[in-house]
Chains A and B, each alone.
Chain A
């Protein structure tokens, strides 16, 4: 059966409506959209904006791996978009989108979207630099890949 997969690193704003339309076919009645945004306030901590950088060639290959893993786990998912924006983003802007389309919401659509964002944050080589009123720092993740994180 044909499926639609969109894997993208982009410097342009993420258009969630356009992604939803792009991965949805007449077979689909359920679309789950996860988007991450720039959080301006974390408790008392203020973030002015974020700057994202990617190792683009590897990031595209790892997005493909996330998509393959997701499809192996959630075979009823039809449409899938994994989109990471890079460059500078203001508070409230979408930085990432995971869009999953299936015939029914019970076909693993929610779980697949969760899997997609969790895995993207583990293995796709992208980093964010946080800019605050008093300076900026690179954010480092806490996931250390093992040989199991190689593409099969």
Chain B
């Protein structure tokens, strides 16, 4: 299945697109997600390593699972207000 990953701010600018795609056979961890995206986009690997991750609109951390059907986003620390 194809996981669609939304990216924002610096990540979107550097990726040149608002979403990235990743082929997944099954669930992976957030840590693996960062690594897999980094393999696909080596120039962005460092950004992915320190990006915040959201799964289904909630912050998610390295040991947590990502399903191919989840809503997933990567972004830098927020700067609104």
Contact = CB atoms under 8 A, between A and B. Distances in A.
B78 A124 contact: yes
Contact of A139 (B8, B52, B73, B79): B79
A139 B75 CA distance: 12
Interface SS of B by simple majority: loop
A8 interface: no
A122 to B, nearest CB: 7
Interface string A124-142: 1111110000000011111
Interface in B4-59: 6, 8-10, 13, 52, 54, 57-59
Contact of B80 (A54, A149, A150): A54
A36 B40 CA distance: 39
Prevailing SS type, chain A contact patch? mixed
Contacts of B13: 138
Contacts of A146: 61
Interface residues of A, number: 36
Interface of A: 36, 52-55, 57-59, 61, 84, 95-96, 117, 120-129, 138-147, 149-151
Given A61-B58, A140-B10, A143-B77, 11 more contacts: A55-B6, A58-B54, A58-B73, A61-B57, A123-B59, A126-B78, A127-B9, A127-B75, A138-B79, A143-B78, A150-B59
Interface of B: 6, 8-10, 13, 52, 54, 57-59, 61, 71, 73, 75-81
20 contacts: A55-B8, A57-B71, A95-B81, A96-B80, A121-B80, A121-B81, A125-B8, A125-B54, A125-B73, A126-B78, A126-B80, A127-B8, A128-B79, A128-B80, A138-B9, A138-B10, A138-B76, A140-B76, A144-B77, A145-B59
